[in-house]
Structure 1
């Protein structure tokens, strides 16, 4: 009898041990299936990230300018990715696409800028993008052909008090005469003084310069009110030549044809991983990146935008893939938005926050713009205003814990700004490498570090792991 009792007790103890061990093993297994940073490290596909950047920065998409056929091809490429990953498309969307309308101006051929004598003989031709870029075109005509004498403006005050000197001419504004005036102010000055066009000097020689080249942007015209005439920027050496030409009595000719559309349909691309918790799924972590860039130069070159922002877009796609492939899904919902029109003034993100597909009242937003620059520098975790400081501090601490060199900064120049404007805590992750060929044909795959872009993807996954599971 005693032996039987003893055996029974041993059996019961063994049974309890097995149950406890099984429970602990199950818990341990569940934890390892969670998207922890260690698990993510093994799941991140650097080759896939680089392949996405290479694709989006290829000739097929010619700089992805909002309003172009190539931009829509890029949107479709992302739709296909979202579908393959298994993201959810809201019933409010058309197959992941949120359409909106914007105003665009797109050049049809290579702009011409050349010096001519009175008889029309060409004395010197300048190269588009290399020597000059356009900031505003015209509200009067879409076929610009101007030939006029040059006028050197001494300063902004002088030109505004002697209108007759500038009337019917092309005004030259040196760095000193511009007095740090904005592009909008310069365009208004040209128009108010009845000049046919304006040209400003752009410094690419200064040791403290931000950019090492002239930068291409969508034209300022669509956001101007009233009448305006063309305005351009030229490099230092070209400006000197133009100033000398003014003294010699030479003429400057500017030719450019463009198309304008006041209601061009463009697309944001949006996909969701719905949270698994019945209550927490109504809270959203938004991961965003803009996929548009500044387009084709119509001279055999295009602005590929590898760092800006095929990199952020590729990071977004990879984050979605890693989370979706995990065995345990997040409790909160993770929303992925590839924005259009960032280069045109954050038009895609502005449209989204005014027409949200999912509620914004319980959301946080992480924007990735220019991530993974090969230049040695810390990643900037930027907030547009104080509403993002808490999120910024949290992301900074996670970066330090992961051994990622980072700094905090204040910066509003991307899509996180739109979210900050409506009170959503938001930050931008950015590598501030402005000298890499920013907004030019030189922003290519050579600017991308596989190691650094993996670090930033890991950082975002770490935030999601800490806040959504």
Structure 2
């Protein structure tokens, strides 16, 4: 899941002071921590291998959730039973995967996959041994007076570059590029580099660890250019003898806003093998609960979450994705169960959807709104659940763009959980975004401090705050219950 916390002004509560559940709301008591955790435990199991869209593991997850929809007798609402089929980029990484420090032609240190480094999920293949050059942010914009490659020859070398754009040009994508690794890899190869090591910014308040990620940005895949994400201490080991630490280098570049490159004394061996597919079949999972009101049944409320995660690498490591986003997927299933088992006859119809390929850039939700099973103007609202199992408090986003919808959640909160409240503009990177962009009101349920284990092997069921997980699911159900039963009318989205 992409970091959207900075764009959200929060709906907060502390777990110890939660209000009692609203016992008089039909279906609410059906939502159970036990059911939520059962679904999360299966979805985050090794058998499913991190649920990368296009993989066998994702297909198993999709089949399981479609089967659960069927058991609830939701109406199939895809283009093929419960499946809405689409194609996505897919890259399978094979062993051996190596990152070694070389001195005098011999391996002096072997770095460990999953601990010291990970592959970028869309890495190309290669087996190379080459000297290493630190090239700052890996940007080349001479027309704006900044070029990390102007004063150095990287032909036949491996480059180390910072993962993101500089903070002082972070949002200037029209001039500086989008900062994604695919963009930086293309530049590096154009300048003669044979491989790339990316590293997080060490001077951030909370520097990002090595994470598995498929978000590479647009452009064509280079199938013969290896890319690894290395941990900050590993970068410092490679820089040893240069007189600089990674912190020194970021400080120097950021303070001067000028490039600074370092020819290290290190030689590195990189090896990775991958098979890239430009269009791999995958699917959203879509089911419908028919509304009961003669007029409102032709209006729809979408309750959704992304099912995918970031997969596995070389059969050695995988990211379980318990919080991101087995939690949201489990909540969608549990909300559907509450409506069905509670014998609720909603006035409006409900579309329950589990999106593919959020991690690649909201591909599944964009496909859904571009190929909707119902006219978009008939969708009253969208409720999105993403990363709702880890943390210490609840957030509900999009309050300033869909204030009336947000106030429904606020009202349920004031009745049952007594939360402090705030409001936000659109939630950005989550699957609520494509709905918002089409003018559909959307509420984005997430938690604070939810990114501690983002895209890491430590995002396991054991780390989840089970009480928080259950309560945010109940709040989303209460919000949906109110919306589908006529307590809300579609509003104009403020952008």
Question: Which runs of 5 or more residues in structure 1 are unaligned?
Answer: 1-34
Map of 1:224 onto structure 2:
219
- State which drifts further: 148-157 or 258-267: 148-157
Which residue of 395, 419, 430 corresponds with 2:409? 395
Provide, for residues 302-340 of structure 1, a one-character-per-residue CA deviation record: whole Å limited to 9, x for no partner: 111111111111100010011012234001001100111
Residue number among 100, 106, 113 corresponding to 2:86 in the alignment: 100
**What is the aligned length?**
423
Matched, 1:242 2:229: no
1:451 pairs with 2:467? yes
| 1:369 equivalenced with 2:386 (yes/no) | yes
Q: By how many angstroms is 1:343 displaced?
A: 0.7
Q: Residue 44 of structure 2 aligns with which residue?
A: 57
Q: Give the alignment partner of residue 134 of structure 1, picking from 90, 113, 119.
A: 119
More displaced 10-residue stretch of structure 1: 223-232 or 272-281: 223-232
Query: Aligned partners of 2:220 and 2:311: how far apart in 1?
Result: 24
Structure 1 segment 10-159 matched on structure 2, within 5 A = 38-90=25-77, 93-109=79-95, 111-119=97-105, 121-135=106-120, 137=122, 143-153=125-135, 156=139, 157-159=146-148
* Larger helix percent: 1
Distance 1:174 1:352, change over 3 A: closer
Query: How far does residue 366 in structure 1 lie from its aligned partner after superposition?
Result: 0.5
Shift of residue 101 of structure 1?
A: 1.1
1:380 aligns with 2:395: yes
- Contact 2:239–2:266 (CA<8 Å) still a contact in 1? no
Whether the aligned pair in 1 keeps the contact of 2:119 and 2:313 (CA below 8 Å) is no
Q: Which has the larger radius of gyration?
A: 1
Aligned 8 A contact 1:404 1:455 in 2: no
TM-score normalised by the chain length of structure 1: 0.83
Q: Is the 8 A contact 1:116 1:252 kept in 2?
A: yes
Secondary structure at 1:289 match in 2 = strand
Alignment counterpart, residue 202 of structure 1, candidates 200, 205, 221:
200
Instruction: Give the CA deviation at 1:448.
Output: 1.8
RMSD: 2.7
Look up the match of 2:260.
none
Query: 2:462 aligns to what SS in structure 1?
Result: helix
Q: Is the 8 A contact 1:380 1:409 kept in 2?
A: no
C-alpha separation in 2, matches of 1:310 and 1:87 = 20
Deviation per residue, 1:407-445 (Å, 9 max, x gap): 544421111111112111112111133453211110011
Match for residue 31 of structure 1? none
- The whole-number CA distance in structure 1 between the counterparts of 2:164 and 2:400 is 35
Superposition map of 1:148-297 within 5 A: 148-153=130-135, 156=139, 157-162=146-151, 165-173=153-161, 182-184=179-181, 185-203=183-201, 208-209=205-206, 211=208, 213-218=209-214, 220=216, 223-225=218-220, 229-244=225-240, 249-297=265-313
Deviations 1:283-310 (A, max 9, x none): 1110001111111133533111111111
Partner of 1:18: none
> Which one is further off, 125-134 or 312-321?
125-134
Deviation digits for residues 244-271 of structure 1 (CA, Å, limit 9, x no counterpart): 2776733211111111112211011000
Deviations 1:165-217 (A, max 9, x none): 222211223589966572245334313322222223324785x2164x32111
Give the Cα–Cα distance (whole angstroms) in 2 for the partners of residues 396 and 461 of structure 1: 13
Listed as ranges, the matches of 1:269-418 within 5 Å are: 269-298=285-314, 300-363=316-379, 364-373=381-390, 375-376=391-392, 378-383=393-398, 387-403=401-417, 405=419, 407-410=422-425, 411-418=427-434
Q: Which 5+ residue runs of structure 2 have no aligned equivalent?
A: 1-21, 140-145, 171-177, 243-262, 486-495
When normalised by structure 2's length, the TM-score is 0.79
